[in-house]
Amino acid sequence: ETGVTQTPRHLVMGMTNKKSLKCEQHLGHNAMYWYKQSAKKPLELMFVYNFKEQTENNSVPSRFSPECPNSSHLFLHLHTLQPEDSALYLCASSQDTESGREGYTFGSGTRLTVV
């Protein structure tokens, strides 16, 4: 257990479904991130939240909608996804809000399959 908990671990959803991914950290970190990892590809940054405020939206389609109700919780709401959205979705956090100045703590990810 890294201190960053993601649920569910696995999710299969149809293209017309709506689902949410949840991320929780009790490390007292100030920044939280959503990354997408597709097979054989680098991690792609999706969203960044610093002190609960969104500071980065990396041109992510609107079918992905993040929510950060407090500094410990981060959600990714999913609707009308496409099969190419199937991937491992990783949540991470860091104490420092300056990018890269300290290592990120990642959760174990949600393996999403869109059918």
Partner 1 sequence: SQKIEQNSEALNIQEGKTATLTCNYTNYSPAYLQWYRQDPGRGPVFLLLIRENEKEKRKERLKVTFDTTLKQSLFHITASQPADSATYLCAVSRGGYNKLIFGAGTRLAVHP
Cβ proximity to partner 1: between 15 and 38 the closer is 38
Strand partners, 73: 24, 70
Radius of gyration of the chain (CA): 13
Which CB, 80 or 105, lies closer to partner 1? Answer: 105
Nearest Cα residue to 4 out of 65, 66, 95? 95
Q: Are strands 73-79 and 44-50 parallel, antiparallel or unpaired?
A: unpaired
Q: Which two tokens stand for residue 36?
A: 């997408």
C-beta of 45: minimal distance to partner 1 in Å? 5
In the complex with partner 1, the residue whose CB is nearer, 73 or 79, is: 73
Interface residues toward partner 1, by CB under 8 A: 2, 4, 6, 40-43, 45, 48, 50, 55-56, 58, 88, 90, 92, 97-109, 111
